[in-house]
Amino acid sequence: MNVYDLQHGWSTYPSEACEGIAFESHVEWYWGDPNTSGVEVMLAESLTATLFAKVTVWFRGQGIVHYMADAASLAAYVAQVLPGVKALAQQEYRVIE
């Protein structure tokens, strides 16, 4: 699993290292539509867990999951990906010749 920490960047952890962490059963925040382009955030049930949130970035029904280490990392990651997600949702692509 890929984990983002604002101070240390991206790290890869084996899945078994975070098996005991449960995420809330509802989406805390989202933007867009998974069938076109969107982002959704689920927080960990325990805010003292190793991971703070699970973020899924969607495009045409395909989702890529990343995990955030803390609230600051979540805010930075969403700010980084949201402009691209919004651009893909508009489906007005410029042709470069």
Domain layout of the chain by residue ranges: 2-90
The number of angstroms, rounded, from the C-alpha of 2 to the middle of its chain's C-alpha atoms is 10
Q: Could you give phi then psi for residue 43, rounded to 5 degrees?
A: -90, 155
- Asked whether residue 90 carries a pLDDT value surpassing 70, the answer given is yes
Residue 91 is predicted with a pLDDT of 65
Report the predicted TM-score, pTM, of the whole model to 2 decimal places.
0.83
Per residue in 36-73, pLDDT (tens digit) is: 899 999 999 876 677 899 999 999 899 999 999 999 99
- Asked whether residue 18 carries a pLDDT value surpassing 70, the answer given is yes
